[in-house]
């Protein structure tokens, strides 16, 4: 494939883990685990060479020591997974899926994808479900990641791209409110932008019930009760109005819905918000002062406010704050979501989401259906309609859904109410899992297909900024392993699909470009060659014009040209405020430059105006009571990633983060008579988890915290509440009610 190596034998690529998609290079290193070593790639603008321990040690996951290298099939006589040939394994999968469809109808077959799959795989999996299996029952684990922010983004701006500006803009704004993100641990290289912000005199406000490593950096740390971020945002908006800080001109010119949103905020007076959130009024006032005194300011949210049964409304309330103060739709200000998974952004754009088609098109939109059906060579009427969301799909396993194909996800560890979901998975008539390791979920399958990963294959991902980047193959896959694209092609052929299913990633990407053309997330002007030459291209990027020149200018400063939603620079010239040229607008020639900054001229709604959300506070689905008097909140630690399927197999990371723990305040520990390291049982209505005590003043006395990376008795998601947000269908991972007791010894 295309790609310029930084030095002989060295291949430029990106980290396999989080949504920062840090640039790195891999150099052959015979003898090293995985056969390559990571070298710095300072030219990539997002991380500028910096990597966290997860990225630095990623080659260890390539090593055959931890890999699946042959298909496994469950033998009826022994009940065990045992090695099989690819032919046998693929036959079994095709028969398992087709058999369920024959007996119970096409929607009896489910497909579950992942936010770690490349754009090409996400696209192919969505197409496979709809055209080969003909099922509506497909969704993916990204539903558990940023779906509330995506829903709020779509409502407010008519378009969902995690960050509507490059991450580097964060260093150049005046004040950042970071809500529910512990990026110092989840994406450490991003911390440098906050450090640079502060060095330049900017202010950082962190909202988190825990004093995390990120909160330690803040000028102001607000520690609300879990599940009250919505009330907090309303309280701040109330003060913005009360203190005359509304940007009336912006509100009148570029928004709609303010009178209703204003009335809702005015009903949340500060003392009431203090009572709900536990954040003192003077701190609320200080936050408003810092946010509004700065010439530019931003709100960035992550899983804290989003993983709630009111996540969409909560994010909407934070967007309201930006809109009312005129901090949106102009450079260096705005709202953004820090997406979690490596391809959480691209994963939701190409059709593995229950309600969406490629190009971020709506599955129930007749024009969208007609366009995509044409690219796929099928009758639009043959396209299934919207299916169930991730948790609802998993909950239907063994009920309506009898067979499942799962790629790149480990719901036994990562789904809420995980013991229940594990039982649903066990109750299936048939399950096939494609993965690189034998995850806890793969271990339950009837057939396990060993697939290539990351540095063994080429493919694109779209990072949290909407920047499409190219991961290049750097090492040959272990013998016996096939790519997910090859697997889908082989299954499609067995299931009678005669139009072919390309296994070459670039060929898939070219089809994806056509499918996305004219959609919200338009990739049609993005090619492997361009990504390689430019080290990433921001969508939307419509098709190149015929005869266009190839020279580039002002790439990183280029504005959106906005055929649909995003506009050119404020003066319409294609120049932004600091002179970067959106070149195709500026001189009328050459390919579309991509769109680093959205909404500068207009929002992507029909009338170009952003929409305020009319939202009011409501409690979490499960609040503490006499039986379960404490909040549980869950999250991540520095040295593990998501369900740990990969990182728990890396020695260095396991040494740094060997297992789960229960973080609790000394006052609570004293009440329980618990000392550091004592085994604690965290008990809720859904189950129980046991892990050692970690006593710390960095958490509220009414709250305990557990990281969710582990299986077994310390599985935090055995406790989490699957109460769903009515719009995004996001489960309430961040808040439920528990009691904590000392676990019986032994």
Q: Could you say whether residue 187 binds ligand SF4 (CB under 6 A)?
A: yes
Q: Which of 17, 335, 523, 599 binds ligand SF4 (CB under 6 A)?
A: 17
Report how far apart, in Å, the C-alpha atoms of 742 and of each of 50, 90, 683 are.
41, 48, 11
Residue corresponding to tokens 């990027």: 541
**Which residue number, 126 or 188, has a Cβ lying nearer to ligand SF4?**
188
Q: Could you say whether residue 424 binds ligand SF4 (CB under 6 A)?
A: no
CA-closest candidate to residue 233, choices 245, 243, 224, 242: 224
Least distance CB 51 / ligand SF4 (angstroms): 4
**Which residue number, 17 or 193, has a Cβ lying nearer to ligand SF4?**
17
Q: Could you say whether residue 20 binds ligand SF4 (CB under 6 A)?
A: yes
**Which residue number, 47 or 441, has a Cβ lying nearer to ligand SF4?**
47
Q: What is the DSSP code (8-state) at residue 129?
A: I
- Report how far residue 338's alpha carbon sits from residue 171's, in angstroms, rounded to the nearest whole number: 15
Binding mask 21-40 for ligand SF4 (x = CB under 6 A): xx------------------
Q: Which of 26, 38, 51, 600 binds ligand SF4 (CB under 6 A)?
A: 51
- Report how far residue 509's alpha carbon sits from residue 347's, in angstroms, rounded to the nearest whole number: 13
Q: Could you report how far apart the first and last alpha carbons of the chain are, in Å?
A: 56
Q: Could you say whether residue 383 binds ligand SF4 (CB under 6 A)?
A: no
Least distance CB 238 / ligand SF4 (angstroms): 36
Q: Could you say whether residue 464 binds ligand SF4 (CB under 6 A)?
A: no
Q: Which two tokens stand for residue 193?
A: 């932008």
Q: Which of 35, 55, 113, 326 binds ligand SF4 (CB under 6 A)?
A: 55
**Which residue number, 162 or 331, has a Cβ lying nearer to ligand SF4?**
162
Least distance CB 647 / ligand SF4 (angstroms): 9
Piece of the chain touching ligand SF4 by CB under 6 A; list 17-25, 248-256, 324-332, 410-418: 17-25
Q: Could you say whether residue 284 binds ligand SF4 (CB under 6 A)?
A: no
Note the maximum CA span of the chain. Answer: 76
Q: Could you say whether residue 71 binds ligand SF4 (CB under 6 A)?
A: no
**Which residue number, 188 or 596, has a Cβ lying nearer to ligand SF4?**
188
- Report how far residue 245's alpha carbon sits from residue 229's, in angstroms, rounded to the nearest whole number: 21
**Which residue number, 20 or 178, has a Cβ lying nearer to ligand SF4?**
20
DSSP per-residue letters across 296-331: SEEEEE-HHHHSSTTHHHHHHHHHHHHHHTT-SSST
- Report how far residue 305's alpha carbon sits from residue 161's, in angstroms, rounded to the nearest whole number: 17
Q: State which H helix or E strand residue 55 sits in.
A: helix 53-56
Report how far apart, in Å, the C-alpha atoms of 268 and of each of 230, 276, 277, 287 are.
11, 10, 12, 16
Q: Helix or strand or coil: residue 741?
A: strand
- Report how far residue 572's alpha carbon sits from residue 553's, in angstroms, rounded to the nearest whole number: 18
Least distance CB 732 / ligand SF4 (angstroms): 25
Residue corresponding to tokens 């060997």: 658
CA-closest candidate to residue 174, choices 270, 294, 46, 272: 294
**Which residue number, 51 or 515, has a Cβ lying nearer to ligand SF4?**
51
Q: Could you say whether residue 18 binds ligand SF4 (CB under 6 A)?
A: yes
Least distance CB 312 / ligand SF4 (angstroms): 26
Least distance CB 118 / ligand SF4 (angstroms): 14
Least distance CB 181 / ligand SF4 (angstroms): 13
- Report how far residue 518's alpha carbon sits from residue 11's, in angstroms, rounded to the nearest whole number: 33
Q: Could you say whether residue 52 binds ligand SF4 (CB under 6 A)?
A: yes
Count of residues touching ligand SF4 (by CB under 6 A): 14
Q: Helix or strand or coil: residue 12?
A: strand
Q: Strand 537-538 vs strand 467-471: parallel, antiparallel, or unpaired?
A: antiparallel
Q: Could you say whether residue 657 binds ligand SF4 (CB under 6 A)?
A: no
Q: Cα-flanking dihedrals φ and ψ of residue 471, to 5°?
A: -90, 130
- Report how far residue 159's alpha carbon sits from residue 448's, in angstroms, rounded to the nearest whole number: 37
Piece of the chain touching ligand SF4 by CB under 6 A; list 47-55, 135-143, 409-417, 701-709: 47-55
CB 345, CB 463: distance < 8 Å: yes
Least distance CB 679 / ligand SF4 (angstroms): 30
Piece of the chain touching ligand SF4 by CB under 6 A; list 48-56, 137-145, 202-210, 350-358: 48-56
Q: Could you say whether residue 15 binds ligand SF4 (CB under 6 A)?
A: yes
Q: Which of 54, 92, 268, 371 binds ligand SF4 (CB under 6 A)?
A: 54
Q: Which spans of this chain sit near ligand SF4 (rule: CB under 6 A)?
A: 15, 17-18, 20-22, 47, 51-52, 54-55, 187-189
């Amino acid at each position: 494939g295309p790609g310029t190596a930084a030095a002989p034998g060295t291949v430029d690529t990106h980290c396999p883990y989080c949504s920062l998609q840090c640039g790195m290079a891999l150099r052959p290193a015979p003898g090293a685990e995985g056969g390559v070593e990571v070298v710095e790639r300072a030219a990539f603008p997002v991380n500028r060479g910096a990597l966290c321990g997860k990225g630095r040690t990623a080659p260890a996951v390539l090593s055959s020591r931890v890999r699946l290298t042959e298909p496994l099939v469950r033998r009826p006589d022994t009940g065990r997974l045992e090695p099989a040939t690819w032919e046998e394994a693929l036959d079994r999968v095709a028969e398992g899926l087709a058999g369920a469809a024959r007996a119970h109808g096409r929607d009896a077959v489910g497909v579950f994808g992942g936010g770690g799959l490349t754009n090409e795989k996400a696209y192919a999996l969505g197409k496979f479900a709809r055209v080969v299996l003909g099922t509506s029952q497909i969704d993916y684990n990204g539903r558990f990641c940023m779906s509330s922010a995506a829903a709020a983004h779509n409502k407010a701006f008519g378009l969902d791209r995690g960050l509507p500006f490059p991450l580097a803009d964060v260093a150049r704004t005046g004040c950042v409110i970071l809500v529910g993100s512990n990026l110092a641990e989840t994406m450490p290289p991003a911390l440098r932008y906050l450090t640079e912000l502060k060095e330049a005199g900017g202010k950082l406000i962190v909202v988190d019930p825990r004093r995390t490593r990120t909160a330690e950096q803040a000028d102001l740390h607000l520690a609300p009760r879990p599940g009250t971020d919505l009330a907090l945002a309303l309280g701040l908006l109330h003060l913005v109005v009360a203190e005359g800080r509304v940007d009336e001109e912006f509100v009148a010119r570029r928004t709609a819905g303010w009178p209703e949103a204003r009335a809702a905020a005015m009903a949340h007076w500060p003392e009431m918000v203090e009572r709900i959130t536990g954040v003192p009024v003077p701190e609320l006032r200080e936050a408003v002062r810092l946010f509004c005194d700065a010439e530019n300011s931003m709100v960035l949210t992550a899983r804290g406010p989003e993983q709630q049964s009111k996540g969409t409304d909560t994010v909407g309330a934070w967007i309201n704050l930006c809109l009312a103060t005129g901090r949106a739709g102009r450079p260096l200000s705005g709202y953004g979501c820090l997406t979690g998974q490596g391809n959480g952004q691209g994963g939701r754009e190409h059709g593995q989401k229950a309600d969406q088609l490629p190009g971020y098109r709506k599955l129930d939109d007749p024009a969208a259906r007609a366009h995509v059906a044409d690219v796929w060579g099928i009758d639009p009427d043959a396209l299934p309609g919207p299916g169930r969301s991730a948790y609802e799909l998993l909950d239907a396993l063994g009920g309506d859904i009898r067979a499942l194909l799962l790629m790149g996800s480990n719901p036994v560890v990562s789904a809420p109410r995980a013991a229940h979901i594990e039982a649903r998975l066990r109750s299936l008539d048939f399950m096939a899992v494609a993965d690189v390791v034998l995850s806890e979920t793969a271990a339950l399958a009837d057939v396990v297909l060993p697939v290539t990963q990351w540095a063994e294959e080429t493919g694109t991902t779209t990072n949290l900024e909407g920047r499409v980047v190219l991961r290049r193959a750097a090492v040959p896959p272990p013998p016996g392993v096939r790519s997910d694209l090859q697997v889908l092609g082989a299954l499609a052929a067995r299931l009678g699909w005669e139009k072919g299913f390309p296994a070459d990633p670039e060929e898939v990407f070219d089809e994806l470009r056509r499918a996305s053309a004219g959609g919200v997330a338009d990739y049609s002007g993005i090619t492997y060659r361009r990504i390689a030459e430019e080290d990433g291209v921001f969508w939307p990027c419509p098709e190149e014009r015929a005869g266009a020149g190839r020279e580039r200018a002002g790439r990183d400063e280029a504005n959106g040209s906005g055929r649909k939603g995003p506009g050119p620079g404020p003066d319409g010239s294609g120049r932004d405020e600091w002179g970067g040229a959106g070149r195709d607008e500026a001189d009328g020639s050459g390919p579309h430059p991509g769109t680093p900054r959205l909404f500068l001229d207009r929002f992507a709604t029909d009338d170009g105006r952003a929409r305020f959300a009319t939202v009011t506070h409501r409690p979490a689905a499960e609040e503490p009571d006499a039986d379960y008097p404490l909040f549980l909140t869950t999250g991540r630690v520095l040295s593990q990633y998501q369900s740990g399927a990969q990182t728990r197999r890396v020695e260095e990371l396991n040494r740094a983060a060997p297992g789960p723990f229960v973080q609790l305040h000394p006052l609570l520990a004293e009440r329980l008579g618990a000392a550091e390291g004592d085994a604690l049982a965290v008990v809720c209505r859904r189950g129980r988890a046991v892990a050692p005590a970690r006593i710390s003043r960095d958490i509220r006395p009414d709250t305990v915290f557990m990281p969710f990376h582990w299986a077994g008795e310390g599985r935090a998601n055995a406790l989490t509440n699957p109460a769903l947000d009515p719009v995004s269908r996001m489960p309430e991972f961040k808040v439920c009610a528990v009691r904590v007791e000392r676990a019986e010894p032994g």
